[in-house]
């Protein structure tokens, strides 16, 4: 009887631990690791003529460039109506529900929302193009707390509006106001109190969404500021290292890639990408190689099986770059430049011309395994794609579309 009771108690503790762990999962930007990799299986390896089946489209969102976030059967996405930013909540069937305002949004210099919300528990964390950071209760839209990143943290706005997809980890929220004292900050996500403020390497924010990694037991925040790639101790805010990195306009919208102790940082305007090797202590980097071909502007890259895939900016090709050597293995101009994610052996590309393509990378080139055009929606084709439960989500301005890409649904 005692043994049975102990087994029941152990099982109960395990179930509680799993429940708490699941509740703390942050639904956020570019997949679970923020590196554009989606771990779904059983997806179509080739699309039918005309592209995958369109399940539904919703064309009454406010304008914006953000991606959807999915959690517990609901879709969350931001947009702007008039000059006000909203978060829209809908079912996975595309049926609209609540929409809650979060404040004034960027209505000039490419009008629309810029921040994909970070969702944890029942809270959303959003930052506007004007640097207004809010914590919102998704049950009723109440703003629990807010911060002015420029007024409160001595930052300055950018030409095209503050753009950062926030990092939330446990009870902490990280962002980059770009001020002198408050260059990069960690806040208590429950009340907005500052936990630490780092002067970093100086310089304004650069439209970059940071990456949080674990490097030999060191929790490190990696981001790109105006003229540097930096690594910050996520616990203390101490600047661990910095590496000079600037392009013509000091604009670096891409989240860096981290793999086995190395970092790939990259941006457009003819710049390219650099691979940096971290030492085990995490307090110094050395440059391993530089590739000027893959000068991706804001479409991201993916690292798969030792190769980096992405498109250039001024170099208007899609590239395959060897992770170890930095050499360009091959390139293609079959589709225009754009954003990219990866799932189940395929690249999912969404180009600035509205092309939606499924690419298979091979040893000597890309094979297009399906293609269609996005004709719904408005303005620029800049939003990053999302995959969830066999569905591909595409955002174009005021429209959100859902495509079936699961083999189970292909008859």
> Per-residue pLDDT tens for 152-175?
999 999 999 999 999 999 999 999
Average pLDDT, stretch 80-106? 98
In the predicted model, what is the mean pLDDT of residues 232-250? 97
What range does the domain containing 405 cover? Answer: 37-65+298-411
Question: What are the b/e assignments for 211-226, b being 16+ CB within 10 Å?
Answer: bbbebeebbbbbbbbb
pLDDT value at 14 more than 70: no
Do the domain assignments include residue 215? no
Domains held by the chain: number: 1
Nearest-angstrom CA–CA distance, 322 and 303: 10
Of the pLDDT bands very low, low, confident and very high (cuts 50, 70, 90), residue 215 is very high
Is there a domain that residue 305 lies in?
Answer: yes
Give a yes or no: residue 18 inside a domain.
no
Any domain includes 87: no
Q: What pLDDT is stored for residue 408 in this prediction?
A: 85
Q: Is residue 375 part of a domain?
A: yes
Residue 260 lies in a domain: no
Place of tokens 């000597």: 364
**pTM listed for this prediction:** 0.93
pLDDT tops 70 at residue 27: yes
In a domain, 271, yes or no: no
Query: What's the half-sphere exposure (Cβ side, CA atoms, 13 Å) at 367?
Result: 11
221 beta partners: 212, 232
Q: What is the dihedral of CA 311, 317, 320, 322, to 10 degrees?
A: -90
Here the CATH number for the domain that contains residue 52 is 2.40.128.630
What pLDDT sits at residue 85? 98
Q: Per-residue pLDDT for 1 more than 50?
A: no
Instruction: Determine contact, residues 71/27, Cβ cutoff 8 Å.
Output: yes
By percentage, how much of the chain surpasses pLDDT 90? 92
Q: What is the pLDDT of residues 273-296, one digit of tens each?
A: 999 999 999 999 999 999 999 999
């Amino acid at each position: 009887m005692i043994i049975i009771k102990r087994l029941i108690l152990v099982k109960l503790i395990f179930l509680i631990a799993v429940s708490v762990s699941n509740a703390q999962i942050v639904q956020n930007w570019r997949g679970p690791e923020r590196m554009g990799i989606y771990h779904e299986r059983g997806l179509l390896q080739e699309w039918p003529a005309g592209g995958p089946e369109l399940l539904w489209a919703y064309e009454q969102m406010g304008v914006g460039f953000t991606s959807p976030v999915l959690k517990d059967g609901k879709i969350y996405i931001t947009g702007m109506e008039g000059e006000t930013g909203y978060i829209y909540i809908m079912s996975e069937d595309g049926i609209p529900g609540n929409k809650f305002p979060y404040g004034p949004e960027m209505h000039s210099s490419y009008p629309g929302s810029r921040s994909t919300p970070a969702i944890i528990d029942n809270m959303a964390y959003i930052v506007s193009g004007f640097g207004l950071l809010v914590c919102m209760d998704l049950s009723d839209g109440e703003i629990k707390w807010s911060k002015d990143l420029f007024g409160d943290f001595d930052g300055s706005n950018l030409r095209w509006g503050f753009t950062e997809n926030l990092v939330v980890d446990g009870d902490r929220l990280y962002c980059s106001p770009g001020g002198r004292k408050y260059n990069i900050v960690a806040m208590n996500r429950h009340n907005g109190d500052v936990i630490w403020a780092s002067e970093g390497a100086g310089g304004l924010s650069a439209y970059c969404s940071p990456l949080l990694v674990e490097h030999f037991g060191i929790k490190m925040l990696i981001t790109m500021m105006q003229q540097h790639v930096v690594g910050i101790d996520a616990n203390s805010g101490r600047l661990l290292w910095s590496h000079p990195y600037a392009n013509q306009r000091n604009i670096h919208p891409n989240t860096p890639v981290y793999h086995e102790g190395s970092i790939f940082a990259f941006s457009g305007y003819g710049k390219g990408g650099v691979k940096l090797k971290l030492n085990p202590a995490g307090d110094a980097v050395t440059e391993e190689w530089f590739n000027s071909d893959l000068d991706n502007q804001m479409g991201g890259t993916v690292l798969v099986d030792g190769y980096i895939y992405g498109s250039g900016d001024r170099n208007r090709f899609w590239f395959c770059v060897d992770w170890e050597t930095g050499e360009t293995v091959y390139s293609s101009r079959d589709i225009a430049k754009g954003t990219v994610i990866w799932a189940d052996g395929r690249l999912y590309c969404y180009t600035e011309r509205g092309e939606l393509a499924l690419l298979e990378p091979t040893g000597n080139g890309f094979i297009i395994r399906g293609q269609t055009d996005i004709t719904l929606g408005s303005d620029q084709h800049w939003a990053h794609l999302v995959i969830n439960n066999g569905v591909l989500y595409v955002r174009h301005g005021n429209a959100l579309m859902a495509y079936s890409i699961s083999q189970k649904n292909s008859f």
